[in-house]
């Protein structure tokens, strides 16, 4: 599988994304799984095993043999750590903004408010009057014809 790694449109967006709690939680889970500790309490990593926080588990090429070896390692795990590994892989590979991502969020009843709130970077990107009106109307902030960027 390949990781979905859309490049940020600019430095402000990249900084905004990196500041979100979900970004840090995924990096923590990825590091735990990457060190082979999916089912254990996670001690602090040594400097020798530290990887960049955005190093992915997926998309490193290889081929059929490497895939079979990885699958074999997954089969050796009990359910909880195996599911943690698969969850990290799914989080890396799921295409951001896709219909599948939206459907999974609905199905799993994920409350995104725990992980993301609009910030100044997001608000600065919202300049389309029609889109602002629809967004404001959807949350009951104002009648669509009176919506402003601040709302």
Mean pLDDT on 21-38:
82
Confirm whether pTM is higher than 0.75.
Answer: no
Whole-number Å distance between alpha carbons of 116 and 134? 20
Per residue in 48-105, pLDDT (tens digit) is 455 565 677 776 666 788 778 888 888 899 999 889 888 888 888 888 778 888 898 8
CA atoms within a 13 Å half-sphere pointing along the CA-CB vector of 5: 10
Residue 39 DSSP symbol: T
Per residue in 10-20, pLDDT (tens digit) is 888 889 888 88
Q: Confidence band (pLDDT; 50, 70, 90) for 126?
A: confident
Whole-number Å distance between alpha carbons of 49 and 35? 8
């Amino acid at each position: 599988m390949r990781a979905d790694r859309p490049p940020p449109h600019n430095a402000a967006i990249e900084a905004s994304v990196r500041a979100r709690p979900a970004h840090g939680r995924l990096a923590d889970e990825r590091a735990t799984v990457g060190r082979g500790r999916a089912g254990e309490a996670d001690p602090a990593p040594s400097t020798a095993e530290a990887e960049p926080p955005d190093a992915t588990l997926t998309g490193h090429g290889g081929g059929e043999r490497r895939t079979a070896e990885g699958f074999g390692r997954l089969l050796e795990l009990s359910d909880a750590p195996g599911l943690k590994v698969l969850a990290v892989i799914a989080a890396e590979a799921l295409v951001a903004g896709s219909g599948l991502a939206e459907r999974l969020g609905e199905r799993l009843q994920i409350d995104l408010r725990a992980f993301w709130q609009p910030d100044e970077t997001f608000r600065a990107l919202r300049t389309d009057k029609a889109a602002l009106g629809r967004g404001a109307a959807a949350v009951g902030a104002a009648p669509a014809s009176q919506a402003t960027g601040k709302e």
